[in-house]
Amino acid sequence: MIDVSTTPATNKSGPAAGRRRTYRPNAQYIPVLATLTLLIVMYTLGAVNYENFTHPSVILNLFTDNAFLMVVAVGMTFVILTGGIDLSVGAVIALTSTVAATLLQAGWPAGVVIPTVLLVGGVLGLGMGAVIHFFKVEPFIATLAGMFLARGVALLIDQNSIPITNGFWTGLAEARIVFEPGVYISAMALVALAVVAVAAVVLAWSRFGRNVYAIGGNADSALLMGLPVGRTRIGVYTLSGFCAALGGLIYSITTTSGYAGHGTGTELDAIAAVVIGGVLLTGGSGYVLGTVLGVLVLGMINTIVNFQSLNSWWARMAIGVLLFAFIVLQRLVTRRAK
């Protein structure tokens, strides 16, 4: 993470008598380090100003409350790393939660509902990826169409909230690891962390991950190098759809309901988390760890707003300011790298 460079050093007796070592962070790590610093500063300010802010449950609740967003943001990370965007993820959450609730209410076993719902998200992502690649449609337009389609199908199934009373679902909603009274982490948060770990390994050490970075850096060059650009691009949108469907399952488990209005605005939160986490919107640079930090920053903003008893719109304004700041930081870092 640290670059070591040497510069000539002079003294009174002659030139270049030695070399002075200077240490500076690699440019690609600066946004991630900035996000980590911001998270630490926010937590410190909260600890200083609010009673009980240092209670362990505050940190653990960040993972519990944002488990579904973390999973969705992981899928969005892959998409943005290729230079694309996916506006459909919030609508996929609505569709998958509605489908799951409807099937469970009809008596389907949970063991059949879960793979069915994940398949729905993956197939929708596959379709959008195929349209983007084969018909050269801009990702913004293709995924916008996917967003309308998924939300429309969810509304067609049922416009009302559908309660889930399935024992397996409610059991998962209540499952948690308790460290001490009042201090616990939910099973869904553990699922989200497992998804993060797998995604980090895939990006860092798999051929698919290297292809993702290569396409984001320069798709034309990647094609000339013989890399499977089309297959990889379709793969990341399929992965994003799968992650959105998994996020929808987590959301339905957490709320024990399915509703066509679920996930409204989640696509914007996911994009914000990825950008604040240091992933370049132009693609080719970024890390899953940064995305996790971005999600935690969003969660910390909401936590501080709740402690301050402010209107939730203050959180949206704060996120907007941070987005502007990190986009500017990205521009400065990329110019410096060039």
Band of the pLDDT at 25, cuts 50, 70, 90? low
Return the half-sphere exposure (C-beta side, CA atoms, 13 A cut-off) of residue 31: 32
Residues 242-250: what's their mean pLDDT? 98
Does the structure show a pLDDT above 90 at 42? yes
* CA dist., res. 265 & res. 291, Å (int): 17
The DSSP code sequence of 150-198 is HHHHHHHH-SS-EE---HHHHHHHH-EEEEETTEEEEHHHHHHHHHHHH
Check residue 51 and give its pLDDT. 87
Residues 228-255: what's their mean pLDDT? 97
Does the structure show a pLDDT above 70 at 4? no
Does the structure show a pLDDT above 70 at 16? no
Check residue 329 and give its pLDDT. 81
Q: Is domain 30-44+55-337 classified as CATH 1.20.120?
A: no
Residues 119-143: what's their mean pLDDT? 97
- Which pLDDT tens digit goes with each residue over 272-322? 999 999 999 889 989 999 999 999 999 999 999 998 887 888 888 988 998
Check residue 130 and give its pLDDT. 97
- Which pLDDT tens digit goes with each residue over 85-121? 999 999 999 999 999 999 999 999 999 999 999 999 9
**Percentage of the chain lying above the pLDDT 90 cut:** 79
* CA dist., res. 91 & res. 157, Å (int): 13
Check residue 331 and give its pLDDT. 78
Q: Where are the domains of the chain?
A: 30-44+55-337
What token pair was written down for 171?
A: 């059991």
Does the structure show a pLDDT above 90 at 187? yes
Residues 176-205: what's their mean pLDDT? 95
**DSSP bridge pairs for 324:** none
